[in-house]
Amino acid sequence: MNQGSKTTCRIRPDGWLWWLLLAAGLLALWRTQRTIDSNSGWREAHDGTLYFTSGKTLRALSLGHGGLLADIYWTRAVQYFGRKQIAYAKHYNLLAPLLRITTELDPHLLIAYRFGAIFLAEKPPEGAGEPEQALQLVRRGIVANPGYWRFWQDLGFIYYWDLKNYKMAARAFKTGSEQPGAMVWMKAMAATITAQGGEFRTSRLLWSEIYRQAETDAIRRSVLAHLAALRADEDIRELNALVARFRKQCGREPRSLGSLVQAGYLKAIPVDPSGVPYVLGRDGTVTVGAESKIDRNLLSESSSSPGSPF
C-alpha cells in the first residue's frame, strides 16, 4: 500500500519548454510594466477625480459610518496636499473640495478645519494660496462648533498673515476673546494689532503661540522656519534703513555691507538666523546670502523682491 502511494517528482522531457515560457513571460511582464510606469506622467498630470462632491450625500449613504468616511477623506486631503507640496505645485484644485467634503461628513473634526485652513492659506508651493477658501472653511467650523474659540484665533491669523487685513484680524481676535474659555492673550492680541497695525513683534507673538500649541513635529518645524524668516525680515528692514542713511550722508552707493562697517554704521557684517551673513544686492537692497537656509518663500515681499524700496 505504502509503495503504491509513493510519488516521485520528475520533469517531463518537454517540460523545459514550459519552464522557459514561464520565465520569459515573467521577464517580459516585468519589462512591460516598467515601460508603462516610465510613461505614466500623463496620469500624474491629472489631479484626480472626486466621484462625490457633496459630503452630506456621502454621509447619508454611509449608513451611520460618516465619521469613518470623514477620516478617509481627511487622510486623502493630507496625502493630496503632501504630494502637491513635494512636486512644488502651484495649483491645489482638489484641496478645498476635499476639505469641504471632510467637514460635511464630520462637522466636529476640528483638526480638518485648523490644519486645512493652514494648507489652504499658505502661499504656493507651501500651500494652495487660497486664503479666502481658508476663511470659508474656518467660518464653517465656527458655525458647526460655536463653542470652540480657537477657530477665531485661526480666522484672525489668516486675516493678519495672509490677507494683511489688520482691522478684520483684530476684530476676529476680539470676538474670539469673548468666547467662553478663550485665553487671555486673545484680548491682548486684538489690542496689539489694533494699535500697531501689524508689526513683526505681533507676528512673532502669533507664531510663538502656534508653536506652543503645535501637536506634531512637522508643524513645529514649519513654525520655526516662519520665525527665522520673520527675524530675517526685521534685520533686512533695519539694514536697508542703514543703507539709505549711508547713501544720504555719504552721497554715494555702498559697494557692500563692508562699506557700512568701514563707515562705522555697523560693528560687523550681521548674520541671519541660519548663521550666513546678509549681502547687499546689485540693486542696492539687502537680502539673505546665497548659502542661507532661510526659506525665501517665507520672506515678506519687501525683503524678497529686489526692486522694492523700504
Partner 1 sequence: MIQRIRTIALHTFKESVREKVLYNLIIFALLLIGSAVLFASISLGIERIMLINLGLSSIAVFGLLMAIFIGIGLVSKEIDRRTIHNILSKPVRRFEFIIGKYLGLLLTLVVNTTIMTGGFYIALYYVQRHLAGEDALLLETIYFIFLQFAIVVGLALFFSCISTPILSAFFTFCLYVAGNFLADIRWFGRESGSVIFEKVTALLYYILPNFSNFQVISQSAHGKAVPSYMLTAGSLYALLYVTIVISASILIFEEREF
Near partner 1 by CB under 8 A: residue from 63, 143, 268, 290: 63
Which range touches partner 1 (CB under 8 A), out of 23-31, 58-66, 172-180, 254-262? 58-66
Contact call for residue 143 and partner 1 (CB under 8 A): no
Residue 219's Cβ-side half-sphere holds a number of Cα atoms within 13 Å equal to 16
- Please give the single-letter amino acid code of residue 181: G
Near partner 1 by CB under 8 A: residue from 65, 201, 247, 293: 65
Contact call for residue 178 and partner 1 (CB under 8 A): no
Q: Count CB atoms within 10 A of the CB of residue 143.
A: 9
**What would the grid cell of residue 282 be?**
546689485
Number of residues that bind partner 1 (CB under 8 A): 21
Q: How far is the CB of 302 from partner 1 (least distance, A)?
A: 33
- Backbone CA torsion sign across 158, 292, 236, 240: negative
Contact call for residue 71 and partner 1 (CB under 8 A): yes
Near partner 1 by CB under 8 A: residue from 55, 58, 66, 292: 66
Contact call for residue 111 and partner 1 (CB under 8 A): yes
**151, 109 contact by CB (below 8 A):** no
- 273 CB contacts (<8 Å, ≥6 apart)? 227, 228, 231, 232, 294
Per-residue string for binding with partner 1, 216-245, x by CB under 8 A?
x-x---------------------------
Near partner 1 by CB under 8 A: residue from 132, 178, 215, 253: 215
Contact call for residue 124 and partner 1 (CB under 8 A): no
Q: What is the 3-state secondary structure (H, E, C) of 39-86?
A: CCHHHHHCCCCCCCCCHHHHHHHCCCCHHHHHHHHHHHHHHHHHHHHH
Near partner 1 by CB under 8 A: residue from 32, 33, 40, 75: 75
How many angstroms separate the Cα of 210 from the Cα of each of 61, 157, 175, 207, 214? 37, 10, 19, 5, 6
Q: How far is the CB of 65 from partner 1 (least distance, A)?
A: 5
